[in-house]
Every structure is written in C-alpha cells, then in structure tokens.
C-alpha cells in the first residue's frame, strides 16, 4: 500500500506545494494567507486518507461494514473548510462593500445548502453535488472579482493571491462540471469516467502549479 501511495504523482505535487509555501512563508506570514501551509497540509492528509480507504476499506476510521469503502464523508468536511477559508480571504481582500455583502450572504447560503444537501443526500454514500456546485460558482465569482479589482495594479502578477485566484478559477471551472458528470456515472457508462479523468488531473496540475508559481514569484508586502 505504501508503495502505491508514494508512487502517486499528485501527492508529490501536493508535497512540493507545501514545501514551497513553507520556504516562502516569511513573505506572507503577516497576511491573512498565513494559514495556507496548514490548509495545504490538511488537503494532503485528506487525499492520503481517501486513497488509503480506496485501497483498504478496513482502515476507514469513520465507517465500518457495507459502506467502509466510501470516502465521501471526508471530502464533505474538506469542501466546507476549503470554501469557507477562501470565502473569508476574498471577503477580506475586496474593497467593495457590495462584494463583501455578496460573499458574506453567499457564504451563509452555502452552509445552509450544505446542510440541506446532506439531509437529502447521504454524506456517507453520495456526492454532495448541489452544495459543491454552488460553493464552486461563488468561489469563481470571488476570485474573478479580486483579479478585476486589482487589474490596474502594476504588481498584480507578483501577488500570491493573483496566482491562487488563477489556479482556483481554472480548477473550479473544469472540476465542477466534471463533478456533475461523475454523479451520474454508473457501471453502464463507466467508460465516461476514463474519458473525463484526464481533464480532472490536468486541472489539479494547473491549480497547484499556480500555487507554486505564486509562492516563488510573490513580492513581500512592504511594511
């Protein structure tokens, strides 16, 4: 099992992103992005746990028995933490009161939808399609707004949040429709999974490559 886990190229990319975030930490440790290394480490641990559950369902720490090979519950928790963190980041870094209100009320709506979605669709056996799609669209909007607000800033391309936004917009724009398709894949159309999987993998590479570029090229904030 360990050999399979360590041979996963995407986990290596996650580790590389964490290392880059730590090496560049002094550039942004006084900003609201200072918790990024913690979030990235949490994402890595979530992916490792998800892979472990797939390889050996008996090691599932949350579910035993018939559904022990399902890992939806860990991604449900991950999605809430991930979206809420970035909603806060974009709320903080926008200067528009209107946009701040949209993000606040949109974030509250996301949490309500996540709870309702979990009520009607089991977080153990089913994807939380509606809450993820809504959260993804709100995140894309928030990230795009940050870029548009700062488009005239001459140092925009040296800002970490620009590269994070670029990665998030690209990834979420590709993944949320893939997630919808995944939700309707059955044994009868399993070939569809293999057709769209490369697009998901490419989106992951773009996302974390943007993070790494941001950590490397970012300009420290002048005190």
pLDDT confidence of residue 44 = 93
Tens digit of pLDDT for each residue in 129-178?
999 999 999 999 999 999 999 999 999 999 999 999 999 999 999 999 99
Pick the more confident residue, 74 or 64.
74
Pick the more confident residue, 112 or 61.
112
Tens digit of pLDDT for each residue in 13-47?
999 999 999 999 999 999 999 999 999 999 999 98
pLDDT confidence of residue 18 = 97
CB 117 within 8 A of CB 128: yes
pLDDT confidence of residue 2 = 46
- Counting Cα atoms < 13 Å in the Cβ hemisphere of 151 gives 6
What burial letters (b/e) apply to 174-187, b meaning 16+ CB within 10 Å? Answer: bbbeebeebeeeee
Contacts of 38 (CB under 8 A, 6+ apart): none
Tens digit of pLDDT for each residue in 87-104?
999 999 999 999 999 999
- Classify residue 155 by its DSSP letter: T
What rounded mean pLDDT belongs to the chain? 87
Q: What is the pTM of this model?
A: 0.90
Query: Residue 101 belongs to what H/E stretch?
Result: helix 97-120
Tens digit of pLDDT for each residue in 186-220?
656 777 777 888 898 999 999 999 999 999 999 88
Tens digit of pLDDT for each residue in 58-71?
665 555 554 555 67
What is the CB neighbour count within 10 angstroms for residue 159? 21
């Amino acid at each position: 099992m360990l050999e399979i886990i360590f041979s996963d190229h995407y986990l290596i990319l996650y580790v590389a992103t964490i290392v880059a975030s730590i090496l560049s930490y002094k550039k942004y440790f006084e900003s609201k992005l200072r918790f990024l290394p913690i979030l990235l480490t949490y994402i890595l641990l979530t992916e490792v746990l998800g892979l472990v559950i797939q390889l050996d369902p008996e090691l599932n720490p949350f579910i035993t028995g018939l559904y022990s090979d399902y890992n939806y519950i860990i991604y449900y928790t991950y999605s809430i933490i991930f979206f809420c963190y970035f909603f806060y980041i974009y709320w903080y870094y926008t200067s528009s009161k209107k946009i701040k209100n949209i993000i606040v009320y949109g974030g509250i709506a996301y949490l309500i939808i996540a709870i309702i979605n979990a009520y009607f669709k089991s977080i153990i056996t089913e994807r939380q399609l509606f809450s993820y799609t809504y959260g993804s669209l709100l995140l894309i909007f928030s990230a795009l707004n940050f870029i548009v607000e700062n488009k005239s800033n001459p140092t925009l391309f040296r800002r970490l949040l620009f590269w994070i936004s670029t990665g998030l917009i690209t990834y979420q724009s590709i993944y949320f429709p893939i997630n919808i398709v995944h939700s309707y894949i059955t044994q009868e159309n399993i070939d569809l999974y293999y057709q769209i999987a490369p697009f998901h993998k490419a989106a992951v590479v773009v996302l974390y490559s943007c993070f790494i570029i941001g950590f490397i090229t970012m300009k420290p904030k002048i005190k």
